[in-house]
Amino acid sequence: MHTCRLQFTDLPDTIPIFPLSGVLLLPRGQLPLNIFEPRYLAMVDDALATNRIIGMIQPRGCNGSLYEVGCAGRIVDFSETEGERYLITLSGVCRFRIREELATNLPYRTVVPDWSTYTADMQAEEAAPNVDRARLSRMLQTYFHKQEMSCDWDKVEITPDTALLTALAMICPLKGPEKQAILEAMNIQSRTDLFMTMLEMAASADSDEDCCH
């Protein structure tokens, strides 16, 4: 699918939102999604017919409320499968705060986003974070082992820091509030520091549990 570089002024005044618990999209991250609910199939159809922008956001609780901050992504890959399903990939564009949720006749929810806090998401890629790759690798091996997750360690070694930390924060099965905290971290360095702390705490908690058995 054709892609282009969006400018801050290209960001729309309203966007559809896709609330998903435990799912994190970060600027410049790539998020594959399997769409099957009729309302979200309609959302994808409408997005493809316009600017291809969809806002990912986490629900807060079970009463339909949402976290205030989400991340908009642009559909950069699309395919239709048997059984009326869409397989899409969103490329993270810019975070937003919900300014207002709109009352519409659409089957999915739409909001007025406030992009102003996150203008830096649209600028040239910021400096790579300061990260101890050896320490990160050790913690990841412990974490992935505990989670029974596989990993291509050769690929980890050659992936640049920013891309690696973005991908890891998105794919690691952290709790919803933890993923939200990562999303709301202001820059890649604070995001990296927070993610490393979460990995360390997870490894430490697992070690403490092992010592008690």
CA gap 7, 10 in Å, rounded: 5
Contact 131, 159 (CB under 8 A): no
The answer on pLDDT for 33 being more than 90 is: yes
The answer on pLDDT for 210 being more than 70 is: no
pLDDT in tens, 58-75: 999 888 899 999 999 999
User: How much is the pTM?
Assistant: 0.90
> Angle at Cα 41 formed by Cα 119 and Cα 90, nearest 5°?
35
Q: Which residue has the higher pLDDT, 177 or 4?
A: 177
Sign of CA dihedral 34, 164, 177, 106: negative
Reference 44, options 9, 11, 84, 4; nearest CA is 84
Of the segments 28-32, 82-86, 141-145, which one has the largest average pLDDT value?
A: 28-32
3-class DSSP assignment, residue 185: coil
pLDDT in tens, 162-187: 999 999 999 999 999 999 999 999 99
